[in-house]
C-alpha cells in the first residue's frame, strides 16, 4: 500500500507540476505590457514632469516622477524640452520617448521581470547618464512597471520591492521631517538647506508621526511669537523659512519647539547642508552665499566648516548630517567621517547620486557612512535597489528621500519599507504631496497588523536595520 501511495503521490505531484506550469503560462499572458501611455503633468513647484501608465491585461498602473532643485552634477539627466514653453522646462520629448521608442522595446514583456525591463531601457538609451531618452522617461516606466508587477503577483507594493531585493524584513522607517528651510529652498539668509527632526525614540511609526506633527505645530507658534505671522509661510517641502541669520539660531529654534512639545528624550536633529550650493570658485564655502556681492567674511575652508559641524554636534543632539561638503570634495568628506562618523551619520546625496560606482568610490575612500536614496538620481527601480544593497553591505545607513518638486505618488513609502532603509525624509507634515508618503506609511503599518505581522519600527536602530543585504 505504501509503495502504491508513494507512487500515486509522485504521479499527483507530476500532474500538479504540469498543471501549475500550464497555469503559470496562462497567467503569464495576463502580466504583459500591452501599452504605455505617458503624459506631462505638473509637480508641486508648478513645473512639468512625466507620468506614465502601464496597461496590462489586469489593469492600468500609474507612476509619476519627481524633480529636484539642488541637483548633483553627477545625477542622471532629466530631459527637458528647452524653448519658451514652461520656461524651457517642458517634458514632451521625454513623454514622446516613452510613447514611441520605449514602448516598441518593452511591449509584450512580462511586468514581473523588473530587472530585464529596466536593462532593456538602459540599453536602448545607450548613454552612461540616460541623456538620450531621459532618466525621467525611463524612471516613469520603471516605477509604473513595479506597480503592475506587484498587482500581477497579488502582493502589496512594499512586499514586491522586498522580494525584488531578496529582503525578508519589513521595517517602518524613522521619519525625518524637514521643518526649517534654508539654502536653495528658502528666501532667508540661512546657508544650510534643511533642519530636520527625527523621532527615533518613538515606539511605532504612528507614534513618530504624532511627535513630528506636535513638534511642527509647536515650532509654528514659537516662530510666530519670535518673527511674526509672515515667518510661518512654508517652503517647497512644507518647512518654515523664518528670517534667521545663523545656523545656530536655526537649531535653537528646533530645540525650543522640541522641549515645549515635551519630546526632548525622543526627538533628535538632522541637517542637510547641501554644501555644493555654496562652494566658491576658490574652493571655500560661503555661508552668506545668498547675499550678492557680500564682503566674504562668511567664507570658510573645508576644515573650518568641519569644525563648525563638530561644534554644532557637541551642543545639540544631532544624529545625521547630509552633504556637508561639495560633491567632489572627497578629502574633507573622508577626514570628517573619520572624526565624527561613529556618533553621527554622514549622508552622501550629491556625493553619491544613488549611483553604484560613486558608492564604491566613497566606500574605498571611507568618505561617508550613509546613502540618500533618490530614485530619480539614477533613473530605475533596479539600479536603486542595487545601490541600496551595496550601501547596506558597506554597513551604511540608508535614507529614502523625496525631491523638492514632488507629486502625489507615494511609492517611496513602499520602497522605504520594502528595502528596510530604516529612514525616510519626505518633508514637513504639511502639503499633500509630502503627506501622501507619510500617510501611505500609516496605511502600511495598519496593513501589516491586519495581516497578523507586528510592525517593526526602526527607531534607535535607524542606521543599522535588521536587513543589511
Placement of cell 500609516 in the chain = 442
| Residues 160 and 146 sit within 8 Å (Cβ to Cβ) | yes
- C-alpha 239/C-alpha 236 separation (Å) is 7
3-state secondary structure of 180: strand
Q: How far is CA 27 from CA 108, 269, 326, 426, in A?
A: 14, 49, 50, 37
Which distant-in-sequence residues (6+ apart) come within 8 Å of 261 by Cβ? 211, 214, 215, 217, 218, 267
CB atoms within 10 A of CB 267: 26
Q: Which residues pair with 181 in a beta bridge?
A: 194
3-state secondary structure of 123: helix
Cα angle, residue 281 at apex, residues 279 and 284 outer, rounded to 5°? 45
Placement of cell 505645530 in the chain = 217
| Residues 434 and 407 sit within 8 Å (Cβ to Cβ) | no
Catalytic residue among 194, 237, 383, 406: 237
- C-alpha 109/C-alpha 396 separation (Å) is 35
Q: Compute φ and ψ for 322, nearest 5 degrees.
A: -105, 140
- C-alpha 147/C-alpha 156 separation (Å) is 9
Q: Which residues pair with 32 in a beta bridge?
A: 110
Active site residue 249: no
CA-based nearest residue to 250, from 184, 258, 278, 237: 258
- C-alpha 147/C-alpha 20 separation (Å) is 24
Strand order in the sheet with 59-64: 35-42, 48-56, 59-64
Q: Compute φ and ψ for 54, nearest 5 degrees.
A: -105, 125
Placement of cell 498602473 in the chain = 61
Catalytic residue among 130, 220, 299, 374: 374
DSSP 204: S
Which distant-in-sequence residues (6+ apart) come within 8 Å of 172 by Cβ? 204, 205, 416, 417, 441, 444, 445, 455, 456, 457, 458
Active site residue 237: yes
| Residues 444 and 433 sit within 8 Å (Cβ to Cβ) | no
List active site positions.
237, 374
Amino acid at each position: 500500500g505504501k509503495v502504491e501511495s508513494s507512487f500515486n503521490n509522485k504521479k499527483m505531484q507530476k500532474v500538479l507540476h504540469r498543471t501549475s506550469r500550464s497555469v503559470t503560462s496562462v497567467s503569464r499572458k495576463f502580466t504583459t505590457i500591452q501599452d504605455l501611455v505617458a503624459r506631462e503633468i505638473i509637480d508641486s513647484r508648478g513645473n512639468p514632469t512625466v507620468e506614465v501608465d502601464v496597461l496590462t491585461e489586469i489593469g492600468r498602473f500609474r507612476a509619476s516622477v519627481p524633480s529636484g532643485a539642488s541637483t548633483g552634477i553627477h545625477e542622471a539627466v532629466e530631459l527637458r524640452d528647452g524653448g519658451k514653453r514652461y520656461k524651457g522646462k517642458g517634458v514632451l520629448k521625454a513623454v514622446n520617448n516613452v510613447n514611441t521608442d520605449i514602448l516598441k522595446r518593452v511591449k509584450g514583456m512580462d511586468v514581473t521581470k523588473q530587472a530585464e525591463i529596466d536593462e532593456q531601457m538602459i540599453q536602448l538609451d545607450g548613454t552612461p547618464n540616460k541623456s538620450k531618452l531621459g532618466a525621467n522617461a525611463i524612471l516613469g516606466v520603471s516605477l509604473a512597471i513595479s506597480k503592475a508587477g506587484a498587482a500581477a503577483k497579488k502582493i502589496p507594493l512594499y512586499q514586491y520591492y522586498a522580494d525584488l531585493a531578496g529582503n525578508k524584513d519589513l521595517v517602518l522607517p524613522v521619519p525625518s521631517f524637514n521643518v526649517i528651510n534654508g539654502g536653495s529652498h528658502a528666501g532667508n539668509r540661512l546657508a544650510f538647506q534643511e533642519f530636520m527632526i527625527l523621532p527615533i525614540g518613538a515606539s511605532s511609526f504612528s507614534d513618530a508621526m504624532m511627535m513630528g506633527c506636535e513638534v511642527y505645530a509647536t515650532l509654528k507658534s514659537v516662530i510666530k511669537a519670535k518673527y511674526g505671522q509672515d515667518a510661518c509661510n512654508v517652503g517647497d517641502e512644507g518647512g518654515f523659512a523664518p528670517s534667521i541669520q545663523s545656523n545656530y539660531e536655526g537649531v535653537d529654534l528646533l530645540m525650543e519647539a522640541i522641549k515645549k512639545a515635551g519630546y526632548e528624550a525622543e526627538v533628535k536633529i538632522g541637517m542637510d547642508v547641501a554644501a555644493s550650493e555654496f562652494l566658491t570658485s576658490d574652493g571655500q564655502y560661503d555661508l552668506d552665499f545668498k547675499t550678492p556681492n557680500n564682503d566674504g567674511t562668511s567664507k570658510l575652508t573645508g576644515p573650518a566648516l568641519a569644525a563648525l559641524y563638530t561644534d554644532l554636534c557637541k551642543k545639540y543632539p544631532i544624529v545625521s548630517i547630509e552633504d556637508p561638503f561639495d560633491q567632489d570634495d572627497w578629502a574633507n568628506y573622508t577626514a570628517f567621517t573619520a572624526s565624527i562618523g561613529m556618533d553621527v551619520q554622514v549622508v552622501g546625496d550629491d556625493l553619491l547620486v544613488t549611483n553604484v560606482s560613486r558608492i564604491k568610490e566613497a566606500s574605498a575612500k571611507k568618505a561617508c557612512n550613509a546613502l540618500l536614496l533618490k530614485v530619480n538620481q539614477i533613473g530605475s527601480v533596479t539600479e536603486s535597489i542595487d545601490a541600496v544593497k551595496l550601501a547596506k553591505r558597506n554597513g551604511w545607513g540608508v535614507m529614502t528621500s523625496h525631491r523638492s518638486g514632488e507629486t502625489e505618488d507615494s511609492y517611496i513609502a513602499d520602497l522605504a519599507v520594502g528595502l528596510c532603509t530604516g529612514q525616510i525624509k519626505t518633508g514637513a507634515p504639511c502639503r499633500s504631496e509630502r503627506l501622501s508618503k507619510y500617510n501611505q506609511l500609516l496605511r502600511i503599518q495598519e496593513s501589516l497588523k491586519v495581516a497578523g505581522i507586528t510592525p517593526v519600527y526602526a527607531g534607535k536602530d535607524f542606521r543599522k536595520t535588521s536587513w543589511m543585504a
